[in-house]
């Protein structure tokens, strides 16, 4: 289960042959945060080539209408808590409207998974990123919340392109709730943790499909 923070995506977007490049490229200024815009480009591709490996241009507008077949796509858990991921989270209406960073985890997922923070207060979606530790009622691994939120954002943003069984936000929440409900019936630590381990294994496909994840550079 990968917890390492993912910095600015390292791999460059796949280069299309010159014959396939639309030289009238549109430039989109997106992900503006604190007055800073990230400028990304959109390159059209042929129907034969297909398109999409979560390149920078796709992060600009999500499920773009293109010719050809869309490849699977999603962002690593750590991406959503680095500067680029936080900017996308804050600038995409489908994300910040439905799942603002300051929303309480327990409220969003519909189950009381996390205990209140020291001094009171709810654990928020923004609080469960890499290298964080928030006490939950099941002794589940610290990365459980991180993977749950990352899956929620990936499913909401990329939809059917997110290569897991859970390709809508509601499906992700339902799967987490099922893990919670199963764990609630157990009385020993191992069985209480097992459903969450299984959930994380299903939504965390980063190590298996690293070439499909947010690997486009800014331009």
Domain ranges of the chain: 18-208
CB contact set of 34 (below 8 Å; sequence gap of 6+) = none
Between CA 63 and CA 149 the distance in angstroms is: 20
pLDDT of residue 162: 87
| DSSP E strand boundaries for the chain | 26-33, 36-42
pLDDT of residue 163: 86
Between CA 10 and CA 23 the distance in angstroms is: 25
Q: How far apart are the first and last CA of the chain?
A: 31
pLDDT of residue 4: 43
Contact at 8 Å (CB) between 38 and 90? no
For 8-27, b where at least 16 C-beta lie within 10 A, e where not — what string? ebeeebbeeeeeeeeeeeee
pLDDT of residue 206: 75
- Nearest in space to 147 (alpha carbons), one of 176, 120, 114, 118: 176
Residue ranges in the chain modelled with pLDDT below 50: 1-51, 56, 62-64, 215-219
């Amino acid at each position: 289960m990968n917890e390492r923070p993912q910095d600015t995506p390292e791999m460059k977007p796949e280069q299309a042959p010159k014959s396939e490049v639309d030289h009238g490229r549109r430039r989109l200024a997106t992900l503006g945060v604190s007055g800073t815009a990230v400028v990304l480009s959109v390159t059209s591709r042929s129907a034969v080539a297909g398109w999409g490996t979560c390149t920078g241009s796709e992060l600009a507008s999500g499920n773009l209408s293109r010719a050809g077949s869309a490849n699977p796509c999603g962002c690593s858990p750590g991406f959503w808590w680095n500067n680029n991921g936080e900017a996308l989270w804050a600038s995409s209406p489908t994300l910040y409207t439905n799942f603002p960073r300051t929303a309480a985890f327990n409220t969003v997922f519909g189950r009381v998974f996390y205990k209140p923070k020291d001094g009171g207060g709810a654990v928020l979606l923004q609080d469960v990123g890499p290298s964080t530790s928030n006490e939950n009622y099941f002794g589940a691994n610290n990365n459980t919340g991180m993977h749950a939120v990352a899956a929620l954002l990936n499913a909401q943003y990329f939809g059917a392109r997110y290569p897991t069984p859970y390709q809508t936000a509601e499906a992700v929440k339902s799967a987490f709730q099922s893990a919670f409900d199963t764990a609630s019936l157990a009385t020993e630590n191992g069985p209480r943790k097992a459903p969450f381990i299984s959930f994380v294994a299903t939504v965390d496909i980063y190590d298996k499909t690293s070439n499909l994840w947010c690997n486009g550079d800014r331009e």
